[in-house]
Amino acid sequence: MSENKRQTELDILRLLATLAVIMIHGGLNPLTDNLMIKYMYRGMHAAIVWCVPVFFMISGRFFLDPERDVSAKKILTVYLPHIIVPFLVWSGVYTAYGLISGSYSHLSTFGVIAEFIHGPYHLWFLYSLAGLYLLTPILRKAAADGKTLAYFLIMFAAVNVVTQYLIYVPKIGGMISDFIERTGLRAVTGYMGYFMLGYFLYSKKDNMSKKTETAIYVIGILMLIATIAAECFISEELRKTDFVKQYMKPNVILYSAAIYTFFVMKMSKIHYSERTRKVFAVFTECGFGVYCIHAILNEFVPTPVIKSLPFITSLLRVACLYALSLALTWLIRKIPFVGKKIT
């Protein structure tokens, strides 16, 4: 995307989402037995899980845009290799680290190969993104027709409510779950919904009514508050299953959509200086590499302990992880022929 056509508001949103991911992976250890602080960390975690949904929505905004050249050939020859090559390289790095550190010492050769194919915990995102890329030619056809797109999103919303909430209703939950499985309706409940939603909300930016926009924000804020409150007070067993903060929960979908809408509708109206645009463009260009690298740096960066200021401790660690990941990505991208292909 040329510099003067960049959507700087989405570059800013990407940066915030990246920082939120790093916070989830490396900044949410309270380092204390204080119950109140633990509750606050739980609330913080629930408040930032919008990061992954937003990444999918931003991808959908660009890949489903009919004005952009996203042919099947380009997906197979350009976009997929940009995911597969980095995955192979970084999964290899993490596997080598596992062997050297001894954490894979209990695995057989087949087990090590399986870990390499599976990849480290955070690279699951690349598998999901690859699947969406392969489906993009089909999804573009659906997104091009407003009624078809609206129908898909209604199905996405309805089935998510059923699969995430109603299956837990006593007595009838089992029957509902069985019905969903037999009909195969779970096919519309995955990240594909975020992909389509991202394009839909962007496509409405010029004709979305003030009432609709306000309703999105109000519902999003209410869902955010409800998610934080529920996460703090549900049982430990439910919390460990991400019962209220799993990415596909309707409450998470609603407040993630509100955050995305705010950037599309409000932040896009800000006049950004050329220097600001360039700075955030660099953050975006390095963002993929930061995402791939940060998890291994997370193993080495110590946690500064300021017992009286636990949140400052967390923020310092996240800032350190991001800065190191950014610097390393920037250096790797300077390697001729290879650097930009793996970051």
pLDDT (tens digit per residue) in 225-256: 999 999 988 888 888 888 899 999 999 999 99
The residue to which tokens 């804020």 are assigned: 221
pLDDT (tens digit per residue) in 57-73: 999 999 999 999 999 99
Tokens of 156: 């996405």
Residue 4 has pLDDT above 50, yes or no: no
Alpha helices in 48-187 (DSSP H): 51-63, 72-74, 80-101, 109-118, 124-144, 146-164, 173-183
Q: What is the pLDDT of residue 87?
A: 97
User: Distance of CA 79 to CAs 6, 196, 333, 342, Å?
Assistant: 19, 18, 18, 13
- Say how far apart CA 330 and CA 283 lie, in whole Å: 10
Report the mean per-residue pLDDT for the chain: 92
From 146, 143, 18, select the one nearest 70 (Cα to Cα): 143
Q: What is the pLDDT of residue 305?
A: 62
Q: Which amino acid, residue 123? A: L
Q: What is the pLDDT of residue 45?
A: 92
Q: What is the pLDDT of residue 238?
A: 83
Q: Which amino acid, residue 326? A: L
User: Distance of CA 291 to CAs 21, 144, 194, 201, 323, Å?
Assistant: 8, 31, 20, 25, 12
Give the percent of the chain with pLDDT over 90: 74
Q: What is the pLDDT of residue 294?
A: 96
pLDDT (tens digit per residue) in 90-125: 999 999 999 999 999 899 999 999 999 999 999 999
Q: What is the pLDDT of residue 1?
A: 46
From 58, 84, 80, 83, select the one nearest 71 (Cα to Cα): 80
Can you tell me the mean pLDDT for 258-266?
A: 98
pLDDT (tens digit per residue) in 269-289: 999 999 999 999 999 999 999
Q: Name the pTM for this structure.
A: 0.94
pLDDT (tens digit per residue) in 12-31: 999 999 999 999 998 877 66
From 218, 242, 320, 250, select the one nearest 42 (Cα to Cα): 242
- Confidence band of 36 (pLDDT split at 50, 70, 90): confident
Can you tell me the mean pLDDT for 218-224?
A: 98
- Number of H-type helices and E-type strands within the chain: 15, 0
Can you tell me the mean pLDDT for 73-99?
A: 96
pLDDT (tens digit per residue) in 151-165: 999 999 999 988 888
Residue 172 has pLDDT above 50, yes or no: yes
Residue 2 has pLDDT above 70, yes or no: no
- Say how far apart CA 250 and CA 254 lie, in whole Å: 6
- Say how far apart CA 43 and CA 185 lie, in whole Å: 32
